Amino acid sequence: MKFLCLFHFAPDAFAGVTPEEMRRLDDATIEHDQKLRAGGHLLLASPLADVSTEEVIDRRRPVRLNETDGPYAEAKEVVGGVVLIQAADMAEAKALFADDPIAAHCRIQIRPLHENDRHSETGEGRPEFRPG
């Protein structure tokens, strides 16, 4: 199964962390990603650019397309990184992050990808994920 892992950070998640501690945390996180890759679990991992660079496309309103610049005052947390993994089940997916050094600074949301790829009226499936 494939799982998308979203890393949610509070605005003060790194308050008090020195630049040297941040560098060590970055290095430790990269080492953890390499461990996941070596175990055959990691498909993609990336931090996201600062939330001030985001734009949201909101099509819920009829007739026109709305684009809104972030960040949003009501948001208590922001997604700061994404990881796509393979695991046998949710229990294994959760266990893969038990020793993730960034977990002390965020909330990790793990969601399975929908596996049914033949649900459209055309019978066509979604394109396979092909990294690189």
Q: Among the listed ranges 22-26, 51-55, 128-132, which one has the minimum average pLDDT value?
A: 128-132
Nearest to 13 by CA among 75, 80, 71, 70: 80
Say if residues 44 and 84 touch (Cβ distance below 8 Å).
yes
CATH of the domain at 97: 3.30.70.1060
**Per-residue pLDDT, 60:** 72
| pLDDT range class, residue 59, cuts 50, 70, 90 | confident
Q: Six-digit token pair at 50?
A: 């600062």
Instruction: Give the whole-number percent of the chain exceeding pLDDT 90.
Output: 64
| pLDDT range class, residue 116, cuts 50, 70, 90 | low
Residue-wise pLDDT for 20-45, tens only, equals 999 999 999 999 999 999 999 999 99
35 is a domain residue: yes
Number of folded domains in the chain? 1
132 is a domain residue: no
125 is a domain residue: no
Mean pLDDT of 38-59: 91
Cα distance between residue 126 and residue 2, in whole Å: 14
Find the domain containing 33 and state its range: 1-12+20-50+76-114
Nearest to 49 by CA among 19, 79, 26, 72: 79
Considering the chain, what is the average pLDDT of its residues?
Answer: 86
User: Is the N-terminal amide bond of 71 cis, ω within 30° of 0?
Assistant: yes
**Per-residue pLDDT, 57:** 85
Mean pLDDT of 83-98: 97
Instruction: Give the whole-number percent of the chain exceeding pLDDT 70.
Output: 81
Amino acid at 94: K
Cα distance between residue 92 and residue 41, in whole Å: 10
